[in-house]
Structure 1
Amino acid sequence: MKKIKKDFGDCSLADLLENPDFVAWATAPDANLDSYWQSVMAKHPKLTPAIEQGKKLMFSMQFDKVLMDSGEHASLWAEIARRTVLKEQNKMVLPVWSRTLAAAMLVFAFFCASFYFYANRYITISTGFGQTKEAVLPDGSIVLLNANSSVRYANNMHENGARELWLDGEALFDIKHLHRFGRVKKQQLFIVHAGKAEIEVLGTTFNVRNRREKVELALLKGKVAISVSGSDSPSLIVAPGQQTLYDLRRDTLVREDGNIKATTAWKDGMLVFDDLSAEELFGQLEDSFGYRPMFEKPSLKKKRISGTFASGNYDHLLKAIGLSLGISIIKQENPRQLIIR
């Protein structure tokens, strides 16, 4: 393998493009690298034009920094260097045009590998406790994430095969309909993976909650099919206004009519409870806000609640729930927990 030049007195553009430190600085600069190369230009001012040309060449093929950070650039370059075999010519100096061509080919290889990395990269979008976030997918579909949730999908999800997405938490989906007529093609399908459950749609609006080893599906419009990977439970076709529940522990998948407006009220900053036990209620609040409930008496878990509550202010929400249940709720930090008495 060719040795990297440390003496920049007679350094050329080709030498720079073969220097991993220069590539790292040109594509993903940081304070240390910037200080180093500024000192190189100060010591070797004649090298400045080649350095600037090299930076422009590398910059022209960069992708969005959000999609590829400095560590990934370095790893990708190291992999290219590992696969590139350069035979040393003893006591032989290659012509300038030959070295420049070799450098250009190396840069082209880097570009191709970068493009492949970008096209096949998985993107993750997530929310923290008490947050919601709307995201537009590459195919134009819209996902509204509830608190403490995440989705993962391929950057090129709409180009090859079925559109697929993995959900952890809760989200409301508005899927773009790609099928117009004739037989449904594979790339026109949209599949949501929620634990072991797989929800297959064409174009529709639905809510999925994947928490505590349960997957709940509520369909607002359109039609979906839900199945469970590796389960004996048969797949179900769900119509608007219907809900399904898959219980991982029991390995059961059931369909029922439900209150869709209550299920999706969270998107409007509201929570609707219909004869819900305090244990289930505070479990849902823990999922969204991150405070673990600590009941001082087991009997408190059996109290039941019905009503509609605003969820924008967590302290106000706890106060309203406490008044409704006739209990005292003390919020603590470090650790985040609720003392319920």
Structure 2
Amino acid sequence: MKKIIFSSGKAIRKCQTLYLEVDLLDMKFSDYKLKDFIQDESFKNWVNNTVPDDMLQWEMWLDNNPHKRPIANEAAAIIRGIAFKKKQVSRQKIDAGWQQVISKIAQSRDAEAIIPVKKDEWRAVWRMAAVWVGLLVVATASFYFYKSNSKLQYQTGFGETTTIILPDKSTVVLNGNSKLTLINNWSFNKDREVWLEGEAFFSVLKKPGQGNARFLVHTGDMDVKVLGTKFNVTNRKAKTRVVLNSGKVQLSAQTLAPGKSAIMQPGELAELRLDKKEFVKKKVNPLIYSSWIHKKLLFDDTSIRDIAALLEDNYGFQVKLNDPAIMDRKLTGEVYVEDVETLLKALSKSFQLDIAQTGNVLVIKGR
């Protein structure tokens, strides 16, 4: 569960403290190597999403030191991942095992009476052994085929976020009430593909090696083709949009005419409009749409209507606005994420609203 603190005097002092700590981190960790990141306890807390202060400090420090993010991502992948090696059985052990099997078959139940195995019987034994070896080979091949083609799924609950290190060391920050799916075994000779339901922020690295370097994000009705960039994708309530922070992406959709696509530039928001059968683009401040990955929300003339949608999509509330006059009332400000209760109190105070909560139902009225 993320936490939310409004920009009160206390919150400002906390933020100033965090920035001071980030300055100290600059001094302490500027010379960190891979093993230093792996051994640092606060860094492990950031990787495992366990200590909010450490998570926030490291995010702020990495934002100030983007050249360190690749090695930090590599360290995170090592901390989270476990490399499984295929264990090879030597031919000598296989032969010894078969000899034990054959010896047991050849032995009589009477330890003193040993029945010699005839030539035809030896052939039968080897035929049976061949059958078992064949079954073992098929089972092993089936296992690795299933493993290589199985899918990994990451899912967050309401109000929860998580950071995912992909096989190519790109990172995905998954917002609340969202799901990311990918093939278990990525090949660097093929496209890297993920499927998103909900909202996520992608930081994509250029694929190593030769060949096609495309990174594809599939939503329910749109595909995003990427080459080394940072962007936010939202796919909620039959509405899909992309906000590009840096780099370049190409958008396409099956519902549009063949070959019709959109190329995005940094600082643009593109929304798929099925009614117009096109992508509608506009210039925006991308930090507003990706601020949630740093545990804060930025509002820039944001309407209560949009905030109500955020409460429903990310936190699982059912919002009822009984006063239509307040739906377009707008807010500009910065909110630090701590918990939903604090968020509701802050919104109530800032908007001059009465917010009544019954279970997961919010009734919002103007004062």
Tell me how far apart the structure 1 counterparts of residues 225 and 316 of structure 2 sit (CA, whole Å).
31
Cα offset, 1:147, TM superposition: 0.8
Moved more, 240-249 or 166-175: 240-249
**SS of 2:350 mapped into structure 1:** helix
**SS of 2:168 mapped into structure 1:** coil
Report Cα offsets for 1:39-80 as digits up to 9, x if no partner: xxxxxxxxxxxxxxxxxxxx979xxxxxxxxxxxxxxxxxxx
Q: What amino acid sits opposite 1:207 in the alignment? A: N
- Aligned to 1:131, which of 139, 160, 165? 160
Q: What amino acid sits opposite 1:229 in the alignment? A: Q
Judge conservation of contact 1:179–1:202 (CA < 8 Å) in 2: no
Tell me how far apart the structure 2 counterparts of residues 330 and 135 of structure 1 sit (CA, whole Å).
36
Alpha carbons of 1:93 and 1:294: their partners in 2 closer, same or farther (altered >3 Å)?
farther
Judge conservation of contact 2:255–2:274 (CA < 8 Å) in 1: no
Cα offset, 1:242, TM superposition: 2.0
Q: Which has the higher contact order (CA 8 A, sep 6+)?
A: 2
2:252 counterpart of 1:227: yes
- Aligned to 2:241, which of 173, 196, 216? 216
TM-score if structure 1 supplies the norm length?
A: 0.67
**SS of 1:293 mapped into structure 2:** strand
Tell me how far apart the structure 2 counterparts of residues 270 and 330 of structure 1 sit (CA, whole Å).
23
Tell me how far apart the structure 1 counterparts of residues 87 and 362 of structure 2 sit (CA, whole Å).
53
Tell me how far apart the structure 2 counterparts of residues 255 and 97 of structure 1 sit (CA, whole Å).
71
Cα offset, 1:159, TM superposition: 4.0
Cα offset, 1:320, TM superposition: 0.4
Tell me how far apart the structure 1 counterparts of residues 364 and 358 of structure 2 sit (CA, whole Å).
11
Cα offset, 1:279, TM superposition: 1.7
Tell me how far apart the structure 1 counterparts of residues 337 and 156 of structure 2 sit (CA, whole Å).
16
- Aligned to 2:176, which of 131, 142, 147? 147
Cα offset, 1:203, TM superposition: 1.2
2:232 counterpart of 1:240: no
Per the alignment, residue 315 of structure 2 pairs with 289
Tell me how far apart the structure 2 counterparts of residues 190 and 229 of structure 1 sit (CA, whole Å).
18
2:348 counterpart of 1:322: yes
Tell me how far apart the structure 2 counterparts of residues 97 and 332 of structure 1 sit (CA, whole Å).
73
Tell me how far apart the structure 2 counterparts of residues 97 and 130 of structure 1 sit (CA, whole Å).
62
Report Cα offsets for 1:137-176 as digits up to 9, x if no partner: 1222111111111111112333453111111111111112
**SS of 1:328 mapped into structure 2:** strand
2:352 counterpart of 1:340: no
Judge conservation of contact 1:275–1:304 (CA < 8 Å) in 2: yes
Richer in helix (by share): 2
Alpha carbons of 1:95 and 1:239: their partners in 2 closer, same or farther (altered >3 Å)?
same
Q: What amino acid sits opposite 2:277 in the alignment? A: D
Q: What amino acid sits opposite 1:208 in the alignment? A: V
Cα offset, 1:224, TM superposition: 1.2
Judge conservation of contact 1:270–1:310 (CA < 8 Å) in 2: yes
Tell me how far apart the structure 2 counterparts of residues 301 and 167 of structure 1 sit (CA, whole Å).
29
| Unaligned 5+ runs, structure 1 | 1-58, 62-91
Judge conservation of contact 1:278–1:304 (CA < 8 Å) in 2: yes
**SS of 2:332 mapped into structure 1:** strand
Tell me how far apart the structure 2 counterparts of residues 99 and 256 of structure 1 sit (CA, whole Å).
71
Q: What amino acid sits opposite 2:235 in the alignment? A: N
- Aligned to 1:115, which of 144, 157, 166? 144
Tell me how far apart the structure 1 counterparts of residues 285 and 245 of structure 2 sit (CA, whole Å).
10
- Count matched residues: 247
Q: What amino acid sits opposite 1:226 in the alignment? A: L
Judge conservation of contact 1:213–1:248 (CA < 8 Å) in 2: no
Q: Which runs of 4+ in 1 moved over 4 A?
A: none
**SS of 1:282 mapped into structure 2:** helix
Q: What amino acid sits opposite 1:201 in the alignment? A: V
